[in-house]
Amino acid sequence: MVDVDELVAAARVVRLPMRVRFRGITAREAVVFEGPAGWGEFGPFPEYDDAEAAHWLRAGIEAAYQGFPEPLRAAVPVNATVPAVGPSRVPEVLARFPGCRVAKVKVAETGQTLAQDVARVAAVRAAMPGAAIRVDANGGWTVDQAERALTRLLDGGPLDYAEQPCATVEELAEVRRRLGGACDIAADESIRRADDPMRVAQLGAADVAVVKVAPLGGVRAVLDVAAALKAAAGVRVTVSSALDTAVGLSAGIVAAACVPDGNAAGLGTGGFFTADLGEHPLVDGALRVRTVAPTEAQLAAVEVTGERRQWWLDRLRRCHALAG
């Protein structure tokens, strides 16, 4: 393990402002640091405890000090991501995803109604005729609510899959049983925030696994989980972003390019930031495999100092002690 003082000395704490509220936040904070293999990122969300956040530090250290496996392809297709905005804002959001033929739409947002979800999904269908539509509830429904909501959404057209409609693996299995194949079920939090990611396969709870590099501890960890789920239950894999900066997104793109049977990845999130640490241009709905090295000007433009910087450095030290 890399010495923690070395990491702290290299650490730059950044805050990226966002164009729209996403996952309840309007700015994304993270720590980035440079090592012999490149740049790594440590950006667990504030509500994550240190034990869970330690996985994110492992992922950053892998990127900066070990580097990545050799990818199988040079570019990966991605889905458009639509936050819980009103229908009138959907075209504005989709304009940031040129060439994408898959869209993931946030639903079950706290304080919103099923009617608003239906209207948002309908607006995406209208703006992207023929596109595959995914919905993501982030565990926000009960089993009964999920059955009712997904049945209503399916009335408007097919869904590629419904991501984490309920919070627990057992609930996902029950929703999947009730829908009877009408809609594939994807597990996200039930994998990346679980002590045992294989439970979704053991309980027949998901057709798709949404995997993210940082929460699982690195690109190699993602590939291990993906291979195990595929072997155990034929679960297909979508590599997704944890709302990473351009540094962290580099690792996600590599992971997606390394998955043998990957599909449209949830990695097109760079457009949500008004400033970032580099660029991953979206061309014809795909991202090219490349890593970024932020310039001093890019870092200085978004760098955090003072108490907030110290908060992140203290957190980094605590997580380093748990990262093994």
- The domain defined by 75-288 folds into TIM Barrel (3.20.20)
Per-residue pLDDT, 169? 95
At position 135, the amino acid (one-letter code) is V
pLDDT for the residue numbered 192:
75
Question: Tens-of-pLDDT digits for all 324 residues of the chain?
Answer: 899 999 999 999 999 999 888 777 899 999 999 999 999 999 999 999 999 999 999 999 999 999 999 999 999 999 999 999 999 999 999 999 999 999 999 999 999 999 999 999 999 999 999 999 999 999 999 999 999 999 999 999 999 999 999 999 999 999 999 999 999 999 998 887 767 788 999 999 999 999 999 999 999 999 999 999 999 899 999 999 999 999 999 999 999 999 998 789 999 999 889 999 999 999 999 999 999 999 999 999 999 999 999 999 999 999 999 998
Catalytic residue among 12, 106, 199, 220: 106
Angstrom distance (rounded) from CA 84 to CA 112: 9
Single out the residue of 151, 142, 204 nearest to residue 171, CA to CA.
142
- Which burial class, exposed, middle or buried, applies to 60 when counting CB atoms under 10 A from its CB (0-12, 13-18, 19+)? buried
* Cα separation, 222 vs 240, whole angstroms: 11
Task: Assess contact for 240 and 234: CB atoms under 8 A.
Answer: no
Annotated binding site: 136, 163, 188
Q: Please answer whether residues 13 and 29 qualify as being in contact, where contact means their C-beta atoms are separated by less than 8 angstroms.
A: yes
**Which residue among 212, 236, 315, 320 is the active-site one?**
212
User: According to the model, what pLDDT value does residue 22 have?
Assistant: 77
| 106 given a catalytic annotation | yes
Q: Is 282 helix (H, G, I), strand (E, B) or coil?
A: strand
CATH 3.30.390.10 residue window(s) in the chain: 4-68+296-322
Cα–Cα distance, 47 to 69 (Å, whole number): 31
By the 10 Å C-beta count (0-12 exposed, 13-18 middle, 19+ buried), 5 is classed as: exposed
State which CATH number among 3.40.50.720, 3.30.390.10, 3.40.50.300, 3.50.50.100 fits the domain covering 4-68+296-322: 3.30.390.10
Token readout for 307 is: 């108490």
Domain with CATH 3.20.20.120 in the chain: 75-288
Detail the residues annotated as belonging to a binding site for Mg(2+). 136, 163, 188
Give burial (CB, 10 Å; 0-12/13-18/19+) of 146: buried
Helix or strand holding residue 183 (H, E): none
Task: Tell if the pTM clears 0.75, that is, is over it.
Answer: yes
Output phi, psi for 211, to 5 deg.
-115, 145
Tell me if residue 230 is catalytic: no
pLDDT for 126 equals 98
- Residues in CB range of 77: below 8 A, 6 or more apart: 100, 101, 102, 263, 264, 265, 285, 286
